[in-house]
Amino acid sequence: MRFVPTRGNIAGPVLGLEASCDETAAAVLAPDGTVLAEAVRSQLAEHTPFGGVVPEIAARAHLAHLPALAARVLAQAGVGPAELGGIAATSGPGLIGGLIIGATFGKGMALAHDLPFVAVNHLEGHALTARLPGLVEGGVAFPYLLLLLSGGHCQCVAVEGLGRYRRLGSTLDDAVGEAFDKSAKLMGLPWPGGPALEKLARAGDPKRFPLPRPMLGRPGCDFSFSGLKTAVAQSIPKLHTEQDRADLAAAFQYVVAAVLADRAKNALGMMEGATAMVIAGGVAANTAVRVALAGVAERHDLPLVAPPIRLCTDNAVMIAWAGIERLRAGLTDPLDHAPRPRWPLAELSA
Ligand code: KG4
Ligand code: ZN
C-alpha cells in the first residue's frame, strides 16, 4: 500500500472532503493549489425548522449527498479517481456522525484506488486557507495571527508553521457566532442569526442601548459572550418598535466588534514577528467586525487577510489545501485513523 508519497511530490490533483458540521462539501485542487472544482451543499433547509443543527439529521444528509457531490467535482475537474494524488478528509473536530461519513468515504476511495490519505483537522484547514495560492500576492508567510470566528469556535491562534499552532486565547463560554445566533433568536430573527442581525443593525443606532463589553481591557485574549447575551435578553422587554430592534442589534454588533478588536490587539502582543492578521469563520463575513479588525491590523502595520466569504465559512477547498500542504511535507495518515470529535490544534504535529 502506497501510504507515504515522495516528499514534496504529489502525483496528481487532491480531492478534499468536508462533512464535520452542516455543510457537505467536496473540492478538487491541482497539486499547486489551483482550484479545479468545488461544491458546497448547505443543510440550512434541513435544520432551520429546529433552529439549529441536529446532529443525526446532519449525518443522514451528509450520507445522502456526499457521494454525488464528490463525483460531481471530479467530473467538473475532468479527473478520474485513479488519477488523484491523494484524498484529504476532515477527520475532526466536529459532529461524530458526519466525521465518520466523510472520513470513511475518503478512506474507502483511498483504499480502492491506492491513494495516500490525509486526515485533516478542520481547524488546520481554516488556519491554512490564507496560504492558498492566488489569495494574497506572494502568499502569507509563517508566523501569522489567526482569528477563528465561527459558530463553533472562537480562538486566537499563532500559526507558526504547518502543524505548529499555539492557542493564545479562546472563549470561556459561547463562540462568537453562537452569541450572534442566540442574540438574534432573542430578537425574533431566524436562524442562523448572524446575517439577519447584521441586516437589522444597518438601520440602528449602536449607542442607544449601553451593553457590557465583556473582557474589554483585560490582559490576554480570551473571550466571553454569555454576559452580553444576558444583557440582550434583559433589553428585549424594552423593544416596542422596529427601530428599537434595529438599535439593539446595532448595539450588540458594535460591542462584539469592539471586543474582538481589543482581543486581537492583545493577541498580536502575545506573538513575535507576525506577518499578517488572518480571519476565518462565518463571523468574518460581518462588515462591522472586518472594519474593526482592519483598524487593529493597520495600527500594527500588518495586512488583514480576509479570504473570500466562501472560503471563510466551511468548505472543502481548505481541506484539500491542508491536505496538499501535508502531502508536500510527506505527511499522510493510516487508513485506521479514527475521527476525533474533539481535536485541539495544539495536539497536531508536523
Ligand atoms: O464558519 P461557519 O459557517 O460555521 C461554523 O460554525 O463552523 O459559521 C457560522 C456562524 C453562525 O453562527 C452565523 O450566525 C455566523 O457564522 N455568521 C455571521 C454572519 N454570517 C455568518 N455572524 C455575523 N455576521 C454575519 N454576516
Ligand atoms: Zn469551520
> Which tens digit of pLDDT belongs to each residue from 281-305?
999 999 999 999 999 999 999 999 9
**Superfamily in which the 144-306 domain is placed by CATH:** ATPase, nucleotide binding domain (3.30.420.40)
253 lines ligand 1 (CB under 6 A): no
Identify the CATH class of 14-132+311-347: alpha beta
The pLDDT of 106-127, averaged and rounded, is: 97
**Residue of 150, 186, 229, 317 to mutate, ligand 1, most atoms within 8 A of C-beta:** 150
Nearest-atom index, ligand 1, CA of 280:
1
**Where in the chain are all domains bearing CATH 3.30.420.40?**
14-132+311-347, 144-306
Residue 232 pLDDT exceeds 60: yes
Beta-ladder partners of 279: 147
- The label of the residue with cell 440550512 reads 44
Predicted model pTM = 0.94
Q: Given pLDDT bands bounded at 50, 70 and 90, which one contains residue 3?
A: very low
Q: Given pLDDT bands bounded at 50, 70 and 90, which one contains residue 4?
A: very low
The CA 78 to ligand 1 mean position distance, Å, reads 32
Residue 339 pLDDT exceeds 80: yes
> What gap in Å lies between CA 262 and CA 134, rounded to an integer?
30
The pLDDT of 22-40, averaged and rounded, is: 97
Q: Among candidates 89, 102, 20, 157, which has minimal Cα distance to 332?
A: 89
What is the overall mean pLDDT for the chain?
Answer: 95
Which alpha helices (DSSP H) does the chain contain, by range?
A: 44-47, 55-77, 96-113, 122-128, 176-186, 193-201, 226-235, 242-269, 287-299, 309-312, 317-328
- Tell me which residue has its CA closest to atom 10 in ligand 1: 151
Q: Are 212 and 159 in contact (CB under 8 A)?
A: no
DSSP 305-323: E---HHHHSS-SHHHHHHH
Pairing of strands 14-18, 23-29: antiparallel
Residue 143 pLDDT exceeds 70: yes
Q: Are 105 and 91 in contact (CB under 8 A)?
A: no
Pairing of strands 154-161, 144-149: antiparallel
Give, in degrees to the nearest 5, the angle at Cα 258 between 192 and 181.
15
Instruction: Say if residue 23 is exposed, middle or buried (CB neighbours under 10 Å; 0-12, 13-18, 19+).
Output: buried
